[in-house]
Amino acid sequence: MAGSVYAGWDGIGLTAMLEVRDLRKTYGSVAAVDGVSLDAGRGEILGLLGPNGAGKTTTVSIVAGLVRADSGRVRIDGKPLAGDTDPTKRKLGLVPQDIALYDELSARDNLALFGALYGLSGATARQAIGAALELVGLADRAREKVKAYSGGMKRRLNMAAALLHDPQVLLLDEPTVGVDPQSRNAIFENLVTLRERGKTLVYTTHYMEEAERLCDRLVVIDRGKVVAAGTLQDLYRRLPASNLLAIELEHADRPLALDELGALAEVRSVARSNGVIRVGVRDLARETPAVLAWLESHGHSWRHLESERASLETVFLTLTGRSMRDS
């Protein structure tokens, strides 16, 4: 069956490597995934962004065939996954959120095992192991037991284990949790390399900075539902304001009529968090004085003022009414 036509971020018609339609999965009365749909094409990094518990891992688990969906459809290169031994699974590589390695075995023995799960053996396996270790920069530590590795090295090896069988689609479930900035950068470089090789990467994260930096397109999930999808620019365009004023009040505990402030013509959005109010405006130079004047007229003095560009945090806040960090 031919793949569906996928409209990529650049608007060019591409064949979707991964096609997910209307996935639903409930545990008891809780809907972990509630109608999630997404597509990902070749040479693309698709970010699956949402707070912890949003349904990202469940979505990835369903895509990888680990969890059976109550309803919905998943196609890999146009084909659905049918059963445990479906050869289509070879097109998928999964990087679990946990460091899924045997500490007591060497890196090479770990990779030999995980390669064998996909039928790799002999020279083919050795070549694949060498290439994967080379990519993640661990070739010179291949014979060491994993328990001697740093957290960042383990994360890199965790990713290498999913690359051995040269999958077309790589599912990365929070692959940078707990790693140092240096290892994070190294992982990002690896992912960019894989994108350049034409791989499809689905990258789940709750780090907005990572998503902004790495992903070509984003699917924002909250409470099992897709709340927004598109490129970073697409998402920003959905914001009522492109700039934010972050105003730290002198008296954080004093009541403030947010509704009244939000009703000003110059104000596009307003939110308050920990003594700081964030006011969305389109034109900083022209609209800031009106906001400050309103504060002064209502008896609120401020000690610090700064402007921010709109971010994914702003997008999430705008779409859900909650901060992703607080979710």
Partner 1 sequence: MNSAFFALVRKDILLFLGNRRAVLMTIAAPIAIASFFGYVFGSGGGGETSRIPILIVDLDASPISRAVTANLAAEKALAVEPSTLEEAREKVRKGKASVALSIPQGFGAAASNALFRGDQKPEIGVLFDPSHAAEAGMVKGILMGSVMQAVSREAMSGAGGRASLDQSLRDIEANRDMAPADKRSLSELLGSLRRWNDYNQNRRAAGENPISAGVSIPFTTREEAVTSRQGLPYNGYAHSFAGMAVQFILFLGIDVGIGMLLLRQRGLWRRFRAAPLSRTVLLSSRATSAAAISMAILMVVFGFARVVFGVRAEGSLGGFLLICAAFSLMTASFGLLIAALGNSPETARGLSILVTLLMVMLGGAWVPAFLFPQWLQQLTLFIPTRWAVDGLDAVTWRGLGLASAIAPTAVLLGSAVLFGVVAVWRFRWEAD
Q: Which of residues 180-199 bind partner 1 (CB under 8 A)?
A: none
- Dihedral sign from CA coordinates of 156, 45, 65, 84: negative
Q: Is 66 in the site for partner 1 (CB under 8 A)?
A: yes
The answer to whether 182 and 152 are in contact (CB under 8 A) is yes
118 binds partner 1 (CB under 8 A): yes
Q: Which is nearer to partner 1, 156 or 268 (CB)?
A: 156
Task: Tell me: does residue 65 bind partner 1 (CB under 8 A).
Answer: yes
What is the four-CA torsion angle of 226, 232, 238, 239, rounded to 10 degrees? Answer: 110
> Which residue of 102, 213, 237, 283 would you call a contact of partner 1, by CB under 8 A?
102
With binding defined as CB under 8 A, does residue 309 bind partner 1?
Answer: no
Q: How far apart (Å, rounded) are the C-alpha atoms in residues 130 and 21?
A: 37
Q: What's the CA gap between 115 and 126, in Å, rounded? A: 9
Strand partners, 220: 49, 228
Applying CB under 8 A, does 99 fall inside the site for partner 1?
Answer: yes
Asked if 98 interacts with partner 1 (CB under 8 A), we say yes
Q: How far is the CB of 121 from partner 1 (least distance, A)?
A: 5
What lies within 8 Å, CB to CB, of 122 at 6+ separation is none
Nearer to partner 1, 89 or 206 (CB): 89
Instruction: Kindly tell me which of 100 and 292 has the beta carbon lying closer to partner 1.
Output: 100
Please tell me whether residue 177 binds partner 1 under the rule CB under 8 A: no
Cβ of residue 173: shortest distance to partner 1, in angstroms? 9
Q: Does 116 bind partner 1 (CB under 8 A)?
A: yes
Distance (Å) of CA 243 to CA 107, 230, 284, 314: 47, 20, 7, 10
Exposure string (b/e) for 161-182, b if CB count within 10 Å is 16 or more? bbbbbebbbbbbbbbbeebeee
Residue 117 makes contact with partner 1 by CB under 8 A: yes
8-37 residues near partner 1, rule: CB under 8 A: none
Rounded to 5 degrees, φ, ψ at 281 are: -135, 160
Pick from 161, 179, 235, 241 the residue near partner 1 by CB under 8 A.
161
d(CA 221, CA 327) in angstroms, rounded, equals 12
Among 85, 233, 274, 297, indicate the residue that binds partner 1 (CB under 8 A).
85
Contact with partner 1 (CB under 8 A): which of 4, 52, 121, 193? 121
In the complex with partner 1, the residue whose CB is nearer, 62 or 186, is: 62
State yes or no: residue 148 binds partner 1 (CB under 8 A).
Answer: no
Contacts with partner 1 by CB under 8 A: the residue count is: 36
Q: How far apart are CA 196 and CA 218, in angstroms?
A: 18
CB 23 within 8 A of CB 72: yes
- To the nearest whole angstrom, how small is the minimum distance from the Cβ of residue 139 to partner 1? 21
For partner 1, which stretch binds (CB under 8 A), given 40-48, 103-111, 248-256, 313-321? 103-111
Phi/psi for 273 (5° steps) reads: -150, 120
Place of tokens 């990467």: 201
Give the residues lining the site for partner 1 (CB under 8 A). 61, 64-68, 84-87, 89-90, 92-94, 96-102, 104-105, 109, 112-114, 116-121, 161-162
